[in-house]
């Protein structure tokens, strides 16, 4: 991983935030924005193995986001929760979720939204409701177009 990769800078920002060092966390978040044109909040919860494709270019997410292990998010994705920071409502990406480029995920006001394990949201989609595990969704508005093959 490059020293200035968006994932590494985001990890530093989250570590500083968890240690109570909010100002340095914001400085690193701002540096990430200037280098990669992405808004990745220190408050977000992120599992191991996250891949932000194309240097996270244009990715914007709300602090009320939880991302599981092994997820992949392509460029120009927006994860927008219509709730306050610290609320019980989150946008949750379970393990091994893929979100295609230029997709928009908007949770309804003060409502959680979950993208289930190993699900895929196609490029250019607009999603406003939860996706069950192992499903492929695409379009505007996003709808189910297939299933992800489950390995035994």
Model confidence pLDDT, tens digit, residues 10-55: 999 999 999 999 999 999 999 999 998 999 999 999 999 999 999 8
Round to whole Å and give the CA distance between 115 and 138: 13
**In CATH, what number is assigned to the domain containing residue 57?**
2.160.10.10
**Is residue 13 one of the residues assigned to a domain?**
no
**Is residue 117 one of the residues assigned to a domain?**
yes
Round to whole Å and give the CA distance between 40 and 42: 7
Q: Is the pTM of this model over 0.85?
A: yes
Q: Report the domain count for the chain.
A: 1
- By CB neighbour count within 10 A (0-12 exposed, 13-18 middle, 19+ buried), where does 88 fall? exposed
**Is residue 149 one of the residues assigned to a domain?**
no
**Is residue 54 one of the residues assigned to a domain?**
yes
**Is residue 96 one of the residues assigned to a domain?**
yes
| 85 neighbors 59 (Cβ within 8 angstroms) | no
Provide the CA 114 distance to its chain's centre, in angstroms: 11
Structural domain of 73: 37-139
**Is residue 120 one of the residues assigned to a domain?**
yes
**Is residue 130 one of the residues assigned to a domain?**
yes
């Amino acid at each position: 991983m490059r020293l200035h990769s968006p994932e590494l800078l985001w990890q530093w920002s989250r570590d500083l935030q968890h240690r109570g060092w909010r100002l340095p966390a914001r400085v690193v978040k701002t540096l990430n924005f200037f280098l990669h044109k992405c808004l990745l909040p220190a408050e977000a919860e992120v599992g191991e193995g996250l891949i932000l494709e194309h240097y996270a270019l244009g990715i914007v997410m709300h602090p009320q986001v939880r991302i599981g292990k092994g997820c992949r998010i392509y460029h120009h994705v927006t994860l927008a929760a219509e709730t306050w920071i610290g609320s019980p409502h989150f946008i949750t990406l379970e393990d091994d979720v893929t979100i295609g480029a230029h997709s928009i995920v908007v949770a309804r006001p003060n409502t959680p939204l979950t993208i289930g394990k190993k699900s895929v949201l196609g490029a250019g989609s607009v999603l406003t409701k939860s996706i069950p595990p192992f499903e492929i969704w695409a379009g505007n508005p996003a709808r189910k177009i297939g299933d992800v093959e489950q390995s035994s």
